[in-house]
Amino acid sequence: MLPSATAPVMVGRERELDALRRAHRETLDGTPRGAVVAGEAGIGKTRLLRELTAGLGPEVVVARGQCVARGVLAAPLSPVREVLRDLLAHFGAPTLLEAAGQMAGLVPALLPQLAEGDPPELRPEQLYDLLTLLLQELSFRSPLVLLVEDVHWADPPTLDLLREFLHVLRRGRILVVVTCRDDDLVAHEPLGPFLAEAGRARAVRMIELERLDPAQVAEQARSIGSAPAGEPELAQLARRSDGIPFLVEELLSLDGGPALPRTLRELLLARYARLGPVAQEAVRLLAVGGVRVEHDLLALVHDGRPAELESALREAVTARVVVTDDTSYTFRHALTQEAVYADVFPGERVRLHSRYAAVLAQRPARPGRAAEVAHHRVAAGEGAEALGALVEASREAYAGGAPLSAGQLGERALALWPQVRDAREQAGCTRAQLYREVAKAYDSAGDERALGVLEDALATVTAADPAGRALLLHEAMVVRYSHGRSGGVQLCQEALELLPDPQDDYGRFVRARARCGLGIALSFLLDPEGPGLLEEAVGEVRELLDRSEDPQVSELARWELVRALTNLATVRTGRRDVEETLAALAEARALAAPDPDSLLRVDERVLALLLDAGRFARARDVATDAWERAQACGTHRSWGAEMLLFRALATLALGDLGEARKDLDHVLTLRPVGIDRAMVAGAQIQLALSEGDLAGAQARYAASRDLVQEAREGDPGDDIILAFPLGWLRLAGDDLLAAWQEVETLWRHPALPTGLGERAVALGAAVLAAMRRRGVAPVGVPLGEAEDKLRRTLEVEDGAAWAVAQDWRTLVDAELSGPDGTGTDVGAWQVAVAATGHTRVPAYQHAYSLVRLGEVQLAADDRAGAAESLSRARQEAERCGFVGLLREADGLARRGRLSLTGDPEGAAREGGHGAASGLRLTSRERQVLELVAAGLTNRQIGQRLFISDKTASVHVSAILRKLGASTRSEAAGRASEVLPPQPPRGDAREGGGSP
């Protein structure tokens, strides 16, 4: 009689189990948690999870996914799909679809059983969005425990998703537990980084399972019920098993059997070795299928009588080599499967893999099938058929939101290509086409391997296939540009030489596309030929679209035209033709309309243009519309985040700070990445500065410094985006040299990104004026030269049709006006006030100009003018919530003893009483006291308040009297009792400048 295989009671592991239970309990208030259970094969990872789930309440839903050891050929996302299948089984289709909300249409991409017709395509970001939404929503119905086993075998997209879940899931009653072997795999890409990252995440627990000690081994043996009686035998068991529970089980199963196994392999095969030959054969058949094989699949690959297979497997189950459930046979442990598989003779292995491949290929299609077929074909050495299966698997992976896997599978197919005689028939496409698909897959996964693939492609696909090579050359240009490489001109020129005079529409299309590419490449290099060539080529593509009777060409031409028009728009933007640019984009929008994704891509450009051209209200409306579409097509995290960011920039410029803040907060919950996140940080800094909240702006900067740094090291266009908010932050913080450094980013750009140059120059002018006032000079540049440099930048930036540039320029002139170039000319500021009032520059700049105008008017003793300007400034600042400017306007009014309309304190000043004064200090005296407390001399006080030193000293005496203080410092010490708390000071001008 065989002993029971497994201990009914789990030995030890109390601490580990407790940690998992605690993590689960913590999720119940809606905060997701994660855990990684790591340890050697057979140590008890799966067992620990079993104990965890056995102890959960009936309301908790457990879903499980298993990764398999197939390397690159693992069906992408299959563990994720298994988890979803469990959820579907528990919740049912209606609930699942309801939870997916607007994205319900995408669910069948993962659960094809729900599809009516062809399942939809899925992009990686949609996949993430969809799963996040589903899991969160379902978890509010029932708490979820999601288990993904053996992630050391996980395919890249599964690992990516898990990383996201462990790090960024913020809401939901969800516990995600993954297990992984850590024997010798930790250093392996990509698992090593995955584990290291998981270890740093606060919400993730790392649980490492140690070997059992001898006492625990004895306990396990007793629980199994076949423990040797003697101490020496128990000690030997502990030693030979190394404290690994699975080996304990296997050693116990030998129970007085023949010779003791000498190697681990022999031990792992011991149970198998005792089976009869027919059962062994069945187990080998199972091992070739994997750790787990469905009953009916096994029956189909088996070539004997069904009854024979059944009895063979019954024997294996009784010997506890294999376990069985409703649907499948599973090895009791993967270690056994690995050992049995290694024991299968090569000839048999090939034959059995071949059978699996043939049977699977006959089965109805379902996700992952192509990858499985490919795996068996490759293992069976069936190169030709493997090629076809790999191509199919690659395409399936791409459509299923797993582009990286698609690239890897496709690369395997390319490697087989030269060995397969009828490769083209097997693959169903040309080699050039396959190369392009693989490059495209890597490229959309953001993987640099795209470049290498194209290099190989160009070395392989010769001029014998001119159209194929030409398209590859074009693709190489696109991919090189997307990775910041150059060389597009040569690539496109070669493509054109390949097709001097195409005879059919397809050839003509390829040529027109290459000409578009050349036009773009030349335009990027600021070659004057570029734009004209691009316009011509766009015309050729348009003609093909209108005229060609070949539907394939029409379709290709449509999408090429969308791309080319969008590029043309960029070129026209460079020429400052707002209307022309919008026209190109309008045409692109009309063509792109059938595909929501392409439409959003065009809208991105429309929005960038509108913002640059200062059409903020329009930008806000377009962004709102695009945001709604992004949500509807399940891209709220990617496109959506971008559209909300655009809307925030528009509302910020319109002076609607509340709306801007709402959108920015929202964007952050969508978890934008890369430059977008840095842009959000920049916008937040700008927002805080607009509110006069210097500390808040500084905190924002500190929190996102790394991001900013990253953005600066990335695309060279990115650092100028951040220069504007950061420069103002430095200026407001009175760090003029650092502010100037931000200005200097201007000269690192051979061609300034549209719309950003003027802003940065305006910033530069403000910094320069402040430096002059303070006698500070930028490092290495005399002040006079600095001004020349700034103004020269504007000359390059100048453009007649770009009205917004003129508005910014008036600001520059005003900042640098007056005899000392410190911005003291009333007339110049009046011009700036008028120009900024056109609402093409942000509302902040208008209010800011009014404050500056009031200031210089006051200095010129135009009290009526100053009162009017500051009143208007006040009104603007109040309307928008520019608290810093409001304070500044009030401060100036106080010092000039002006009464402003709309200022309650000003009215109080009229009456001569300090509103908060219990000690009957006049409002003037309170102002003076403020400055005394700040340590200013009478002379400095006089300068600040536009009064003589003498008058200042009179006020100080009165203050001392009223406070009963005998010295200035005593009075200063009591100031806080008398004065309302003051906001912190910025630059020499109270509140400083800001965006």
Binding residues for Mg ion, per CB under 5 A? 45-46
Residue whose CB is less far from Mg ion, 45 or 353: 45
The distance of closest approach from Cβ of residue 616 to Mg ion in the complex, given in angstroms and rounded to an integer, is 58
3-state secondary structure of 12: coil
**Residue in this structure with the two tokens 């500021």, named with its chain if needed:** 829
Which of 33, 45, 271, 637 touches ligand ADP by CB under 6 A? 45
Residue whose CB is less far from ligand ADP, 329 or 701: 329
Which of 7, 545, 847, 856 touches ligand ADP by CB under 6 A? 7
Residue whose CB is less far from ligand ADP, 178 or 685: 178
Burial class (CB in 10 A: 0-12, 13-18, 19+), 36: buried
Which two three-digit tokens encode residue 749? 């750009």
Per-residue b or e along 342-373, where b marks 16 or more CB atoms closer than 10 Å to that residue's CB: ebbeeeebbebbbbbbbbbbeeeeebbbbbbb
Instruction: Say which entry of Mg ion, ligand ADP, none residue 360 contacts (CB below 5 to 8 A, set by partner kind).
Output: none
The distance of closest approach from Cβ of residue 281 to ligand ADP in the complex, given in angstroms and rounded to an integer, is 25
Instruction: Say which entry of ligand ADP, Mg ion, none residue 39 contacts (CB below 5 to 8 A, set by partner kind).
Output: ligand ADP
Residue whose CB is less far from ligand ADP, 152 or 431: 152
The distance of closest approach from Cβ of residue 334 to Mg ion in the complex, given in angstroms and rounded to an integer, is 7
The distance of closest approach from Cβ of residue 205 to ligand ADP in the complex, given in angstroms and rounded to an integer, is 17
Instruction: Say which entry of ligand ADP, Mg ion, none residue 224 contacts (CB below 5 to 8 A, set by partner kind).
Output: none
The identity of residue 793, as a single letter, is T
The distance of closest approach from Cβ of residue 268 to Mg ion in the complex, given in angstroms and rounded to an integer, is 15
Instruction: Say which entry of ligand ADP, Mg ion, none residue 714 contacts (CB below 5 to 8 A, set by partner kind).
Output: none
Residue whose CB is less far from ligand ADP, 6 or 951: 6
Q: Is residue 67 part of the contact set for ligand ADP (CB under 6 A)?
A: no
Residue range at the interface with ligand ADP (CB under 6 A); choices 7-15, 356-364, 412-420, 620-628? 7-15
Q: Is residue 47 part of the contact set for ligand ADP (CB under 6 A)?
A: yes
Residue whose CB is less far from ligand ADP, 253 or 566: 253
Complete edge-to-edge strand list for the sheet that includes strand 174-181: 61-66, 144-149, 174-181, 33-39, 204-208
3-state secondary structure of 374: helix
Q: Is residue 39 part of the contact set for ligand ADP (CB under 6 A)?
A: yes
Which of 23, 43, 107, 207 touches ligand ADP by CB under 6 A? 43
Burial class (CB in 10 A: 0-12, 13-18, 19+), 857: buried
Query: Beta-strand (E) ranges in 479-633?
Result: none
Residue range at the interface with ligand ADP (CB under 6 A); choices 5-13, 493-501, 668-676, 848-856? 5-13
The distance of closest approach from Cβ of residue 162 to ligand ADP in the complex, given in angstroms and rounded to an integer, is 17
The distance of closest approach from Cβ of residue 329 to ligand ADP in the complex, given in angstroms and rounded to an integer, is 16
Q: Is residue 638 part of the contact set for ligand ADP (CB under 6 A)?
A: no
What residues between 232 and 291 interact with ligand ADP by CB under 6 A? 245-246, 249
Instruction: Say which entry of Mg ion, ligand ADP, none residue 13 contacts (CB below 5 to 8 A, set by partner kind).
Output: ligand ADP
The values of phi and psi at residue 175, to 5°, are -110, 125
Residue whose CB is less far from Mg ion, 37 or 680: 37
Q: How far is CA 850 from CA 830, 857, 883, 884, 905, in A?
A: 8, 10, 14, 13, 20
Q: How far is CA 739 from CA 218, 564, 734, 761, 767, in A?
A: 71, 39, 8, 12, 7
The distance of closest approach from Cβ of residue 371 to ligand ADP in the complex, given in angstroms and rounded to an integer, is 24
| CA atoms of 907 and 866, how far apart (whole Å) | 16
Residue range at the interface with ligand ADP (CB under 6 A); choices 3-11, 271-279, 390-398, 954-962? 3-11
Q: Is residue 42 part of the contact set for ligand ADP (CB under 6 A)?
A: yes
The distance of closest approach from Cβ of residue 8 to ligand ADP in the complex, given in angstroms and rounded to an integer, is 9
Which of 20, 32, 46, 805 touches ligand ADP by CB under 6 A? 46
Q: How far is CA 680 from CA 145, 641, 683, in A?
A: 34, 10, 5
Instruction: Say which entry of ligand ADP, Mg ion, none residue 511 contacts (CB below 5 to 8 A, set by partner kind).
Output: none
**Residue in this structure with the two tokens 């390949």, named with its chain if needed:** 498
Q: Is residue 3 part of the contact set for ligand ADP (CB under 6 A)?
A: no
Binding track over 764-783 against ligand ADP, x by CB under 6 A: --------------------
**Residue in this structure with the two tokens 């320029």, named with its chain if needed:** 809
Residue whose CB is less far from ligand ADP, 333 or 968: 333
| CA atoms of 256 and 744, how far apart (whole Å) | 83
CA angle 830, 828, 885 (to 5 degrees): 60
Residue whose CB is less far from Mg ion, 45 or 395: 45
Residue whose CB is less far from ligand ADP, 11 or 932: 11
Q: Are strands 144-149 and 174-181 parallel, antiparallel or unpaired?
A: parallel
3-state secondary structure of 66: strand
Q: What is the CA radius of gyration of the chain?
A: 36
Name the closest residue to Mg ion (Cβ): 46
| CA atoms of 226 and 278, how far apart (whole Å) | 28
The values of phi and psi at residue 367, to 5°, are -55, 135
Instruction: Say which entry of ligand ADP, Mg ion, none residue 78 contacts (CB below 5 to 8 A, set by partner kind).
Output: none
Which two three-digit tokens encode residue 202? 């606060």
| CA atoms of 990 and 906, how far apart (whole Å) | 18
Per-residue b or e along 908-934, where b marks 16 or more CB atoms closer than 10 Å to that residue's CB: bbeeeebeebebebbbbbbbbbbbbbe
Which of 126, 220, 408, 635 touches ligand ADP by CB under 6 A? 220
The distance of closest approach from Cβ of residue 149 to Mg ion in the complex, given in angstroms and rounded to an integer, is 6
Residue whose CB is less far from ligand ADP, 146 or 556: 146
Burial class (CB in 10 A: 0-12, 13-18, 19+), 462: exposed
Residue whose CB is less far from ligand ADP, 213 or 820: 213
Residue whose CB is less far from ligand ADP, 126 or 253: 253
Residues 6+ apart with CB under 8 A from 135: 144, 146, 165, 169, 172, 174
Residue whose CB is less far from Mg ion, 151 or 457: 151
Closest alpha carbon to 228 in 248, 212, 247, 252? 252
Q: How far is CA 935 from CA 892, 917, 972, in A?
A: 19, 21, 8
Instruction: Say which entry of Mg ion, ligand ADP, none residue 194 contacts (CB below 5 to 8 A, set by partner kind).
Output: none
| CA atoms of 309 and 301, how far apart (whole Å) | 11
Residues 6+ apart with CB under 8 A from 726: 682, 685, 701, 708, 742
Closest alpha carbon to 936 in 898, 886, 990? 990
Residues 6+ apart with CB under 8 A from 38: 45, 179, 180, 181, 182, 195, 206, 207, 208, 209
What residues between 314 and 353 interact with ligand ADP by CB under 6 A? 333
Name the closest residue to ligand ADP (Cβ): 44
How many residues bind ligand ADP, per CB under 6 A?
A: 19
Which of 44, 65, 243, 991 touches ligand ADP by CB under 6 A? 44
Q: Are strands 328-331 and 322-324 parallel, antiparallel or unpaired?
A: antiparallel
Residue range at the interface with ligand ADP (CB under 6 A); choices 9-17, 303-311, 408-416, 704-712? 9-17
Residue whose CB is less far from Mg ion, 333 or 846: 333
Residue whose CB is less far from ligand ADP, 44 or 672: 44
Residue range at the interface with ligand ADP (CB under 6 A); choices 41-49, 105-113, 408-416, 845-853? 41-49
Q: Is residue 12 part of the contact set for ligand ADP (CB under 6 A)?
A: yes
The distance of closest approach from Cβ of residue 149 to ligand ADP in the complex, given in angstroms and rounded to an integer, is 7
Residues that bind ligand ADP (CB under 6 A): 6-7, 10-13, 39, 41-47, 220, 245-246, 249, 333
